[in-house]
């Protein structure tokens, strides 16, 4: 069936049904995309804007105020569901309040501060600590990966010589 074959008396009724059926789906989908790409702050702004739009709209229909309440309910519940969706982008933490006083935002100054900090902390690592154990029975050689691999290779070589 197309609009051309729809009886003229059914056009308005069908339009209202289409709006009420697809409107919420479209709002939900658009809000989900906004949340995915822009984050929660933008979603909050959208919610405030939509609620204000509904509240400020003059509705001449009977039960206009009740219709507004349902519309606000639709906006709030739809955006709540979008916020809970796993694909919604979470906003980054505001770090301006935690930033150290006097810290520069200039990349050249930050690079100078980094170089200064690196020079002040030279050498970058402490010498390795001596490892001791409380296990009785004498000490064992602590060896690195290269030494372990060398010993295994040597053992395989000796084993293959005795097999021949």
pLDDT digits (tens, 9 = 90+) for 47-63: 899 899 999 999 888 88
pLDDT digits (tens, 9 = 90+) for 120-162: 666 656 555 445 455 555 555 555 677 777 788 888 888 888 8
d(Cα 55, Cα 58) in Å, to the nearest integer? Answer: 8
Q: Is the pTM of this model over 0.75?
A: no
């Amino acid at each position: 069936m197309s609009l051309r074959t729809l009886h003229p008396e059914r056009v308005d009724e069908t339009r209202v049904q289409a709006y009420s059926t697809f409107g919420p789906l479209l709002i939900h989908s658009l809000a989900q995309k906004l949340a995915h790409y822009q984050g929660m702050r933008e979603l909050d702004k959208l919610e405030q804007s939509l609620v204000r739009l509904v509240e400020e709209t003059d509705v001449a229909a009977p039960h206009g105020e009740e219709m507004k309440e349902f519309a606000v309910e639709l906006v709030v519940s739809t955006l709540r569901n979008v916020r809970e969706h796993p694909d919604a982008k979470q906003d980054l933490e505001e770090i301006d309040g935690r930033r150290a006083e006097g810290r520069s935002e200039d990349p050249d100054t930050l690079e100078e501060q980094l170089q200064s900090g690196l020079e002040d902390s030279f050498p970058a690592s402490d010498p390795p600590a001596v490892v001791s154990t409380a296990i009785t029975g004498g000490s064992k050689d602590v060896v690195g990966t290269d030494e372990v691999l060398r010993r295994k290779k040597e053992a395989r070589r000796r084993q293959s010589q005795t097999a021949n």
